[in-house]
Structure 1
Amino acid sequence: MHARMTGALLIGLLVLLPVARAQDLPRSGQPVFDRVVELVNTNFYDDKALDRFNAAVRAEINAAAAPISATSTANRVNQAIASVLASLQVSHTGRFTTGSIDYFELSDIFRLAIRNDTRRLFPPDGEARYPGIGMVTSVLEGKRFVSDVYDGSPAKKAGLLVGDEIIAVDGKPYSEIGSFDTKVGRGVEIRLRRHRDAEPLSARVEVERLRPLPMFQRAIEESMTISEHNGRRIGYVRLWTLSTREGLDIVAEALLHGRLTDAEGLVVDLRGRWGGGPADAAEFLVGGTPTFRLVPRRGDPTLANFRWKKPVVALIDKGTRSGLELFAYTLRQNAVPLVGERTAGALLAGRAYILPDDSLLELAVSDAVIGDDLRLEGVGLAPDVPVSFPLAYAAGRDPQREAAMGEMMLILGAGPIGIPEWDRSVTR
């Protein structure tokens, strides 16, 4: 969840959590591994899981083939930490290293929690940055495919599409950070395959030094479009995360008097990267209070509160997690149709810690309960309109988005005319 919210939760939580005495904890002598063990025992939200966790820790320390000790190799330490954290069986818990995009994005999202380390980690100003092109990939059956292209990014401008198979970058295997390190301000050649069994293509992409939250804010703004179907104007926006400082305000302004103001209905895409945000983030789409402006004697009016009064359809999938999952739940409670695939089932409060090797530990520090006893953790939300999204060689085709557009046209009374034949079976 959002770093500011997490910090507030943590103040009260540290008083309540049972703090294990350091001398009672299993020790390996390996500083990074032992620090993870200490942080989990001190701060993890569910003390009932600690016996299972510490049993996994002892198993790694005493492993016959490769016990964890002060002399363990980096690969062995990585494997051991991943194994003991997996024993907790929850979201918002994992370790991230500087070779991954996740490390930099989470460092920016949790910037307040790690503020004592940021200037050292990200000199000179403490702002998280990484060399990249605004593309995220996933590995399927041993091949690497583009799973996300951030709107407004160099990858988007160069024409890379979701579903492209990435073969090489400048003739070498793809690495999230390593492929672009030392190449900021220069172009790289991406070798890709767009269609199964087709000949590879090449794309030249400019490398930038990306700041995660400003990049996400730009991506939200750049995603906004209005398309016309059967004479009806349907707006679209993708909320990549709720953790940006002004992302929701930018969307509200666009709906009120910007590029989305003429939309008759809105498709809001919650297939994001991260959650975050306040618990009432969805209120501007479904809340009951009116739009409210502050009008000074001099100067421009300030938008204090905005409420969208037209139809909404939401897109969800396994990327809909944390604050975005709560956003989707709020929409469902207000009869907004959810289109796509089941959400991640990842709704806890997390916090970040910097480990002795400068890797980042995200740890679930609080449970999240909706109402009296509803938990989405490990469960998620099923869509009202199920639509799958085969990633490999999708060539930019997005059946979930097209289905959401068809759903909106039915709500507007326009029927599914204009939506491809393969989508009509999933609209209601």
Structure 2
Amino acid sequence: MPLRSLALAFLLMLAPAQGLTAEVPKSGQQVFDRAVALVLDNFHDTSALERFKAAVAREVEDANAPLTAGSSEARVDRAIDAVLASLGGSHTGRFRPDQIAYFELADIFRFAIRHDLRRLFPPDGEVSYPGTGMIVQPFGGSLFVSDVYDGSPADRAGVLVGDEVVSVDGAPYREIASFADRIGRDVELRLRRSAGAAPVSVKVAVERLRPLRSFETAIRDSIDVIEYDGRKIGYVRLWTLSAPDGLDVVAREVAGGRLKDADGLIVDLRGRWGGGPSDAAELFVGDTPTFRLIPRNGEEDFANVRWRRPVVGIIDEGARSGLELFAYALQANGIPLVGSRTAGALLAGRAYLLPDDSLLEIAVADAVIGDDVRLEGIGVEPDIAVAAPLPYAAGRDPQRDAAVSEMRRMLSGG
């Protein structure tokens, strides 16, 4: 094919499907209409678009509450959530500035929104939010702490996974609003640690958190070495693979830091976001030798690090996207996985800003392992299934305990 024809074909592949946008009714509500147009132009699975267009028509033409330019914010939110849900895929959702996920994804997708960063996060364009380093999830009509980032203010204050969050400074908990204008101050968390018990008060410092830096800190501060039967068992939690220095933190600790002399290593993939390089698991399963550069000052620089001793992985629904690929690679290389099934969310996403500055993530590409293995909607099953109930867990971690037990068995030759 002539070069000109090749170039034209490439441009046609990149061009949005203009005809698709014309086939759906317009609401006149600019945020909704822009979200619809972006999905039609970019969603990876065209077979889902007829279903999507039908969902759009239902929202715009709803006999009880048609979506119009004057619709309330709550009505627009419901409509966008409904049409995105019709696609039935991961890496597709809308995030607003009252959610921690908005800031974390803005930092992960900072290149995609680079032209708006200074406007959104003045003056330097560094993504940040006021917080304490804990994630709270609804369960049974109450709110429970599902994650505490290692080294965060919440971690230092003794907040535990499974704590019921009753209030913040006497008011209902809100992800961002509860801590706005409180940076550098303490807030009073009222927490219930067992069903029916009286709440306890915990003072927690509010800090300006920069998501990817916070994840790097959490990975570094998660590192632990446990001694059993004269053996050393290392532990590290990969909160995300998207932090620029996250894997390097682990590699340095394996090569010459706290994990260097461990007899076995537990790699915790119960993260918050995936991302990262597709070959991230090669730190533990790669065949290339460790490679060092030693200049005249004697300070070694590890260009390539490989862990050669026993490994156990921990997974749950927090292992998603790149972390699922990591888990799959471990399991394919005979490394046992402990916990529960991963999220089944392995697609490639991209972020777009909507007119109200909310963030729209769209799955723009399918993800295939080898010739035909897909984890989307399927996930990775553990070799050793262990449940981890959330409410009132009081910081107990049966999945980590089971991983330690499996590592002890492996090291003992059992």
Q: TM-score, normalised by structure 1?
A: 0.92
Contact 2:24 2:56 in 1 (8 A): no
Contact 1:239 1:270 in 2 (8 A): yes
Who is 1:328 aligned against?
327
Who is 2:224 aligned against?
225
Cα 1:12–1:221 change in 2 (3 A) is farther
Runs of 4+ in 1 over 4 A off after TM superposition: 11-14
Q: Does 1:262 align with 2:250?
A: no
1:202 and 1:14 map into 2 onto residues whose CA distance is 57
Q: What whole-Å deviation, never above 9, does each CA across 1:258-283 have from its counterpart, x for those lacking one?
A: 11112100000000000000000000
Contact 1:18 1:47 in 2 (8 A): no
Q: Which residues of structure 2 form unaligned runs of 5+? A: 1-9
Contact 1:20 1:41 in 2 (8 A): no
Who is 2:236 aligned against?
237
Contact 2:284 2:308 in 1 (8 A): yes
Q: Give 1:48-87 correspondences, 5 Å limit.
A: 48-87=47-86
Who is 2:290 aligned against?
291
Paired residue secondary structure (1:237): strand
Who is 1:421 aligned against?
none
The offset of 1:17, in angstroms, is: 6.2
2:298 and 2:115 map into 1 onto residues whose CA distance is 39
The offset of 1:12, in angstroms, is: 8.9
1:209 and 1:229 map into 2 onto residues whose CA distance is 39
1:207 and 1:414 map into 2 onto residues whose CA distance is 47
Q: Does 1:357 align with 2:353?
A: no
1:302 and 1:140 map into 2 onto residues whose CA distance is 47
Paired residue secondary structure (2:412): coil
Who is 2:209 aligned against?
210
Paired residue secondary structure (1:163): coil
1:336 and 1:21 map into 2 onto residues whose CA distance is 46
Contact 1:17 1:45 in 2 (8 A): no
Contact 2:59 2:67 in 1 (8 A): yes
Who is 2:178 aligned against?
179
Cα 1:383–1:108 change in 2 (3 A) is same
- Higher mean displacement: 313-322 or 252-261: 252-261
The amino acid across from 2:397 in the alignment is D
Who is 1:7 aligned against?
none
Who is 1:139 aligned against?
138
Once the two structures are aligned, what percentage of the paired residues are identical? 62
The offset of 1:231, in angstroms, is: 1.9
1:73 and 1:259 map into 2 onto residues whose CA distance is 54
Paired residue secondary structure (2:115): coil
The offset of 1:316, in angstroms, is: 0.2
2:80 and 2:126 map into 1 onto residues whose CA distance is 27
Q: What whole-Å deviation, never above 9, does each CA across 1:352-380 have from its counterpart, x for those lacking one?
A: 00000000000000000001111000000
Who is 1:306 aligned against?
305
The amino acid across from 1:389 in the alignment is A
The offset of 1:293, in angstroms, is: 1.2
Cα 1:144–1:393 change in 2 (3 A) is same
The offset of 1:303, in angstroms, is: 1.1
Q: TM-score, normalised by structure 2?
A: 0.96
The offset of 1:118, in angstroms, is: 0.8
What's the Cα RMSD here? 1.4
Equivalenced residues, count: 405
1:166 and 1:34 map into 2 onto residues whose CA distance is 37
Q: Which residues of structure 1 form unaligned runs of 5+? A: 1-10, 416-428
1:328 and 1:47 map into 2 onto residues whose CA distance is 29
